[in-house]
């Protein structure tokens, strides 16, 4: 009631002024005070002569209310009639207000996914929207709520207010997951570079790999080559490995392998020994092992070149200097082919890529390797009748066997 008290003080001051300055005026003057019920709405006092009317002031305004007139009582019983009521004493007029019932609007939410249903909100005009919480969608990150389907203007839940029915649109950002496709050529480390693709996409079919003595057939989903990978329709959903399936060809020697064979035969003949027959089985084992060495062998003090890795369809083992695993080596031709007897291997590594000439010179200059070729020392009790040769990049292996190769097969 601070305003009322201020008005009363002001009114008293006016009355005192009137009584002291107008003693000769026979008419009395009175103060008309306008009380709005809201301290933020102020009205000037009116000084009215006795028996006269009050001038109607400008209609006041109040947020959330409509003005209903000036009343003689604070409880709004008798309205003041500005056309007929006369002033005979100090008057206080009270503004009467009618609260405006706020209009309500519906706020709808479009999640962008049929599995996510969000209940609409009924909001008073001028109020804010409550932000929906805990929105999740597999494969996506929630971005923001927008005012239109084209995601042009973000709805600001802190500041924006509702003035009509609206629909808000959720925007999702797809989580791009990259997956790796590795190509395993069965028995060898892949010469194909792994492909990185987006989850849910197809793989571009790579160039078909090559393998000496084999024809590439297709890529399969498992090592056992049961289910074919369909590059036209299959999609990648996680890191995968595809496995090559090979069809064996008739045993074929490369030009360098054939040349090395002739050089070894001449070396033997120069030392009074007979020529050896080429064994398809021993040649296949040589070609497989030389590639296993090239791609998978890791040099350690414990494991020498007669070792076989665990990256193929064979029994892996570490061949140490004490020859404890020699029978694993001897049995390798029988494990991988139809060769009927033991096999004995010599192996060589060279930093420069190997050729037949480099190989024969290395064999002739190595006392240990030349003894095997020429059946000397402990090898004098063996009679070689079959040979198989494999040369690949930095490695060469030569297998010898006592069993003749008449009907052996890979």
CA distances from 305 to 115, 282, 329, 361 (A): 60, 17, 11, 19
Give CA torsion, residues 155, 161, 167, 169, to 10 deg.
10
Section 332-359 average pLDDT: 94
User: What global pTM score does this model have?
Assistant: 0.48
- Counting Cα atoms < 13 Å in the Cβ hemisphere of 150 gives 2
List the domains of the chain with CATH numbers: 2-99 (2.60.40.4270), 104-174 (2.60.40.4270), 178-248 (2.60.40.4270), 255-401 (3.40.33.10)
- The whole-number pLDDT of residue 190 equals 58
Give CA–CA dist 224/222, Å, rounded: 5
Residue 18 gets which letter from DSSP?
H
**Contact assessment for residue 204 and residue 195, using Cβ atoms and an 8 Å cutoff:** yes
Give CA–CA dist 78/57, Å, rounded: 18
Residue 134 has pLDDT above 90, yes or no: no
- Counting Cα atoms < 13 Å in the Cβ hemisphere of 296 gives 22
pLDDT tens-digit map of 253-300:
999 999 999 999 999 999 999 999 999 999 999 999 999 999 999 989
Q: Which residue would you say has higher pLDDT here, 247 or 304?
A: 304
Give CA–CA dist 380/402, Å, rounded: 12
Give CA–CA dist 289/390, Å, rounded: 8
pLDDT tens-digit map of 24-83:
354 699 999 999 988 777 788 999 999 999 999 999 998 889 999 999 999 999 999 999
pLDDT tens-digit map of 205-218:
988 887 766 788 89
Residue 159 has pLDDT above 90, yes or no: yes
pLDDT tens-digit map of 9-37:
344 444 444 444 444 354 699 999 999 98
Residue 102 has pLDDT above 90, yes or no: no
């Amino acid at each position: 009631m601070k305003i009322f008290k201020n008005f009363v003080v002001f009114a008293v001051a006016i009355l005192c002024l009137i009584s002291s300055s107008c003693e000769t005026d026979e008419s009395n003057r009175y103060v008309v005070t306008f009380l709005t019920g809201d301290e933020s709405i102020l009205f000037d006092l009116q000084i009215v002569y006795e028996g006269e009317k009050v001038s109607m002031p400008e209609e006041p305004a109040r947020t959330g209310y409509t003005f209903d007139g000036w009343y003689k009582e604070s409880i709004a019983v008798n309205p003041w009639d500005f056309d007929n009521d006369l002033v005979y004493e100090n008057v206080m007029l009270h503004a009467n207000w009618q609260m405006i019932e706020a209009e309500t609007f519906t706020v709808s939410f479009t999640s962008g996914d049929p599995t996510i249903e969000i209940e609409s909100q009924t909001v008073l005009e001028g109020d804010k929207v409550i932000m929906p919480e805990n929105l999740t969608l597999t494969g996506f990150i929630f971005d923001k709520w927008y005012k239109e389907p084209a995601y042009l203007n973000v709805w600001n839940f802190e500041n924006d207010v509702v003035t009509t029915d609206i629909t808000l649109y959720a925007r999702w950002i797809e989580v791009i997951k990259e997956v790796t496709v590795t190509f395993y050529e069965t028995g060898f480390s892949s010469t194909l570079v792994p492909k990185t693709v987006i989850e849910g996409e197809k793989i571009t079919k790579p160039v078909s790999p090559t393998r000496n003595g084999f024809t590439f057939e297709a890529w399969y989903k498992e090592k056992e080559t049961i289910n074919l990978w369909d590059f036209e329709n299959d999609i990648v959903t996680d890191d995968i490995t595809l496995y090559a399936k090979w069809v064996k060809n008739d045993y074929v020697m490369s030009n360098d392998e054939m040349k090395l064979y002739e050089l070894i035969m001449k070396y033997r003949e120069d030392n009074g020994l007979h020529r050896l027959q080429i064994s398809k089985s021993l040649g296949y084992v040589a070609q497989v092992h030389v590639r296993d060495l090239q791609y998978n062998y890791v040099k350690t003090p414990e494991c020498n070149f007669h070792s076989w890795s665990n990256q193929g369809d064979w029994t892996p083992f570490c061949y140490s200097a004490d020859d404890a695993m020699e029978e694993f080596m001897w049995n390798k031709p029988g494990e991988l082919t139809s060769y009927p007897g033991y096999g004995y291997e010599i192996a060589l590594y060279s930093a420069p890529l190997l050729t037949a000439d480099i190989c024969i010179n290395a064999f002739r200059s190595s006392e240990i390797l030349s003894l095997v070729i020429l059946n000397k020392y402990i090898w004098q009790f063996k009679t070689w009748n079959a040979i198989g040769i494999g040369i690949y990049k930095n490695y060469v292996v030569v297998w010898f066997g006592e069993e003749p190769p008449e009907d052996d097969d890979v």
